[in-house]
Structure 1
Amino acid sequence: MTTQVRTASDLFTESLRLLLAKDMAGYAALWAVDGVMVFPFATADYPARLEGRAAIAAYLRGYPDLLDVQEITEQVVHRTGDPDVVVAEFEAAGVAVATGTPYRMRYVAVLTARNGEIASYRDYWSPLAATEILGGLDELKAFAGEASKA
């Protein structure tokens, strides 16, 4: 019996399902042990790169306390010339937990799979929009600081 390895597209779809379920441990478990998460547009006080599944799990642990993502309103997955790489555009909607402010943010992610796990995830999002949604730069810095300590 052959076990089918999850594709990059499968991993992306599963990551959104786990995000909506607020299963951050399950979300982090999609990463390879040496997988990386990169934030190319990170501000100076925000981590630009997380290395390893453990660091990604620590970063994600408090995410549902920051943002209550309730819906993925748009989603397009673009396949590339490399079957292990997809480029995804999506919009998440929900509520900023601390302020009760409605949350709606567009993302572009580049996901690279290896052996059925996420080897690399480049997350392109707007720190300016996140700052506005969360109620200020201090709130964004606080989340980044707590995540980097965990």
Structure 2
Amino acid sequence: MMTDNIRQQNRQLVEEFFTRLESMNIDYWLELWDDSGVQEMPYSPEGFPKRLEGKSAIRQQYSSLPVNYHSMQFVDRIFYETSDPAVFIVEFKGVIDVKLTGKTYNNNYCGVFTIQNSKLVHYKEYFDPIILQTAFGTKLQENFNVNE
């Protein structure tokens, strides 16, 4: 029963991850992260980070979203529970309107979320890098504060 409660609380944190990110209030979204949280993006294209270590690096990567996007939604979420109540796998689609390019960035994702002590400690995000590059073109680094 205790495991079910932990799993439910952790799933709610993952749901909140999406809700807060959609609001593009980055400071509010970062409250979900542990100070030493890590995001990995193993399929990132060249010139785009594959790993963000710590809340400050994550903030740097995401801080320009409200400036660069009209809106963002993460839809069609499918949750897969694991044997560990702290780990969730989620498939989802992103629907993002980009201001700088005038294009829509629609990608398919698979995320692996790990929560400890009610904070997100690790997030591994798989996405199609070709869709990312097509949507942003030469503005890729500008949109994501890469290398700032």
Report TM bin, short chain.
Answer: 0.7 to 0.9
Rounded to whole Å, the distance in 1 between the matches of 2:81 and 2:71 is: 25
Q: Kindly state the Cα deviation for residue 121 of structure 1 after the two structures are TM-superposed.
A: 0.2
- Whether the 8 Å contact between 2:97 and 2:103 is mirrored in structure 1 is yes
Equivalent residue number for residue 37 of structure 2: 35
Equivalent residue number for residue 139 of structure 1: 139
Q: Kindly state the Cα deviation for residue 32 of structure 1 after the two structures are TM-superposed.
A: 0.5
Pick closer, same or farther for the CA change 1:99–1:54 going to 2, 3 Å: same
Q: TM-score, normalised by structure 1?
A: 0.85
Q: Kindly state the Cα deviation for residue 73 of structure 1 after the two structures are TM-superposed.
A: 2.7
Rounded to whole Å, the distance in 1 between the matches of 2:124 and 2:88 is: 11
SS, match of residue 115 in structure 2: strand
Q: How does 1:1-150 map to 2 (within 5 A)?
A: 7-134=9-136, 136=137, 138-144=138-144, 146-149=145-148
- Whether the 8 Å contact between 2:105 and 2:131 is mirrored in structure 1 is no
Aligned length: 143
- Whether the 8 Å contact between 1:62 and 1:147 is mirrored in structure 2 is no
Rounded to whole Å, the distance in 1 between the matches of 2:51 and 2:13 is: 20
Q: Kindly state the Cα deviation for residue 115 of structure 1 after the two structures are TM-superposed.
A: 0.2
Task: Give the share of equivalent positions with the same residue, in percent.
Answer: 24
Show structure 1 runs of 4+ deviating over 4 A. Answer: none
SS, match of residue 7 in structure 1: helix
SS, match of residue 70 in structure 2: strand
Unaligned runs of 5+ in 1: none
Q: TM-score, normalised by structure 2?
A: 0.86
Q: RMSD over aligned Cα, in angstroms?
A: 1.9
- Whether the 8 Å contact between 1:46 and 1:141 is mirrored in structure 2 is yes
- Whether the 8 Å contact between 1:60 and 1:147 is mirrored in structure 2 is no
Q: Kindly state the Cα deviation for residue 120 of structure 1 after the two structures are TM-superposed.
A: 0.1
